[in-house]
Structure 1
């Protein structure tokens, strides 16, 4: 039962930034390589790519008394919908042409207070998404399927 998913997910947003505190730029497609997304600031290993569920954008906003949070505010690379990322922990996941392994939770940082306002850090706890390592590079585009291997 744990290995099955009800349906594949899909990519709804892609973003990256050239440096640590730089503005996040949304794109329609990107090459995912061992160091993360092409053009994104360098991460390595287990934290090369960050993902968050679209469903959590609404939850975070709700905890703040607002509507869904804009993806670029959370500074994650990929927003996916329709699949539970927690159920994919430590599993290989095909996203478009890339093969990733979800590794560790992507906990919020103290910048979320700055980005979301008072209580932003607490609103994101448990909803910050996941980090992943790149097992096979490939292109990822909006609308691509997200499914376990």
Structure 2
């Protein structure tokens, strides 16, 4: 199970905003809390910055599927920190460990879509329930950080060797 890092996204804490959409960066430092400089409102306010929610991963293949279905989702819109290419959403499983650049992460659990996606300009309150239904089982995977390190766009995203 191997792929590559296609995009890295983060958004600093911004008063009155939830952390969507995230902005793309070429490289970032992964700390125990996630991408350095990133803010996730749900994680911070409801989950006490739980380490199992440090990163949100999303395959580009899922974003492309949404586009084909008529949803104009762009990279960063869904709150994802790392967009992969070459590993489909259903290939991820809890406890899988991946090496990315100088970091190692472990898949924790699937991310459920939330009402904050309504804040996207092409969704809104009217289409929100339909989009939430569309996103069930497709919002990506949360991961915890096992080894902090630097990552960059283009890095290999590969299943870690069993010890």
Q: What is the TM-score of this pair, normalised by structure 2?
A: 0.79
Work out whether 1:137 is the aligned partner of 2:131: no
Which ranges in structure 1 are unaligned for 5 or more consecutive residues? none
Aligned to 2:11: 17
Aligned to 1:46: 52
Contact persistence 1:16–1:40 (CA under 8 A): yes
Contact persistence 2:103–2:148 (CA under 8 A): yes
Aligned to 1:127: 138
Aligned to 1:76: 80
2:35 to 37, 40, 45: 37
Q: Residues 113, 62 of structure 1: CA spacing in aligned structure 2 closer, same or farther, 3 A cutoff? A: farther
Structure 1: which 4+ aligned runs deviate by more than 4 Å? none
Aligned to 1:112: 117
Post-superposition shift, 1:120?
1.8
Post-superposition shift, 1:114?
3.1
Aligned to 2:90: 86
Pairs within 5 Å for 1:62-73 = 62-63=68-69, 65-66=70-71, 69-73=73-77
Q: Residues 143, 48 of structure 1: CA spacing in aligned structure 2 closer, same or farther, 3 A cutoff? A: same
| Whole-Å separation in 1 of the counterparts to 2:34 and 2:28 | 10
Q: Which moved more, 1:27-36 or 1:115-124?
A: 115-124
Post-superposition shift, 1:32?
0.1
Post-superposition shift, 1:85?
4.4
